[in-house]
Amino acid sequence: MYAPYPYPDEALESVIARYQRHMALSDKEIQRRFGANHLGGYSYLDNLANMLACAFAQEKLVDEHTMSPVLNNLSDKTYPAFAYRYCPDCLKEQEEQNGEKYWKREWLFCGVCRCKKHGKPLMLATFKGKGFFSHAGTFVVPDDIDEDRSRPVVCSNEAARLSDRLTDLLPLPHPSDEVTPYQWRSFWLQKLGQAGYTKKNLKLLQRRLMEKWEFNGTPPESLSESERNRLTNRYSWVKELFSCTTKKGIYWGHERTLKLWEEFCPDMAIGEIRKEAAKLPPFPRNE
């Protein structure tokens, strides 16, 4: 049976979309075989893996063609957002090299907002003859993009830096260790403690993170006290870390880990961080 092989870093959704196109199958037929397409959901993984079984193991598909390994390495237990985004320069290169275009896995993940290779913001795709969200549930190829109606993703400097960090992590395989949310939280509390931060000076910590992440360390002098406070409040999530009600550990998103990592232990690899965290008690004592 024919099956298109995934290109390096191609999203799994994209492999199915190309299959549909190559075989000229209707939306209905493709949904009968794979179910509806929910970006980042991978409910069709088993069926796709069966189709590619002679060439690709399922683990390889997950490791090299989804964002799951990156998110797992960062202990992200949330349900992050996915959408169709693309880099026009990369698409051009793909077409020249392969004669067709495909979606890269990191484009569809909303934490990534720019192409590191071309240094440009990604474009949010609108599709020909379709309303903004009317492609939901179906599989689309980049040839369906309506370039005139697609717009660049608005991306702050801060978001761009986080985005580059995420793309750096793409080559990582799925972590082989288990780190509980409680261990993850304890690790970061330990790091913050070593840097002199406790429950009592949270405002200082919030301000430090604000300065680092909003202004690269030095906020402009023109910034008024109220603006400063407004920005500092964006880091109120650090309160959660120290809060007694989250004794069991918190399920936090990847961007919080990235921000603390970069500020408090930039020289540690994520694997080292996980190894250190795994040495801590997995669950609260006395419970």
Q: Which residues bind Zn ion (CB under 5 A)?
A: 87, 89-90, 115, 117-118
Closest approach of Zn ion to the CB of residue 121, in Å? 10
Question: Rounded to whole angstroms, what are the CA distances from 65 to 5, 142, 156, 231, 244?
Answer: 11, 17, 27, 36, 38
Looking at the Cβ atoms of 34 and 107, the one nearer to Zn ion is 107
Closest approach of Zn ion to the CB of residue 109, in Å? 15
Say how far apart CA 104 and CA 87 lie, in whole Å: 9
Looking at the Cβ atoms of 14 and 37, the one nearer to Zn ion is 14
Say how far apart CA 51 and CA 61 lie, in whole Å: 12
User: In the numeric block, which tokens belong to residue 280?
Assistant: 């801590």
Closest approach of Zn ion to the CB of residue 113, in Å? 12
Say how far apart CA 108 and CA 138 lie, in whole Å: 15
Q: Which amino acid is at 77?
A: K
Looking at the Cβ atoms of 123 and 270, the one nearer to Zn ion is 123
Q: Which residues contact 170 (CB under 8 A, 6 or more apart)?
A: 9, 70, 105, 106
Task: Give the total residue count for the chain.
Answer: 287
Are 270 and 75 spatial neighbours (Cβ–Cβ below 8 Å)?
no
Closest approach of Zn ion to the CB of residue 88, in Å? 8
Q: Which of 8, 3, 22, 6 is nearest to 143 (CA)?
A: 22
Closest approach of Zn ion to the CB of residue 111, in Å? 17
Looking at the Cβ atoms of 119 and 193, the one nearer to Zn ion is 119
Looking at the Cβ atoms of 87 and 108, the one nearer to Zn ion is 87
Closest approach of Zn ion to the CB of residue 160, in Å? 14
Closest approach of Zn ion to the CB of residue 103, in Å? 13
Say how far apart CA 73 and CA 86 lie, in whole Å: 24
Complete DSSP assignment for 145-212: B-GGG-EEPP--HHHHHHHHHHHHTTTPPPPSS---HHHHHHHHHHHHHHTT--GGGHHHHHHHHHHH
Looking at the Cβ atoms of 104 and 254, the one nearer to Zn ion is 104
Looking at the Cβ atoms of 123 and 241, the one nearer to Zn ion is 123
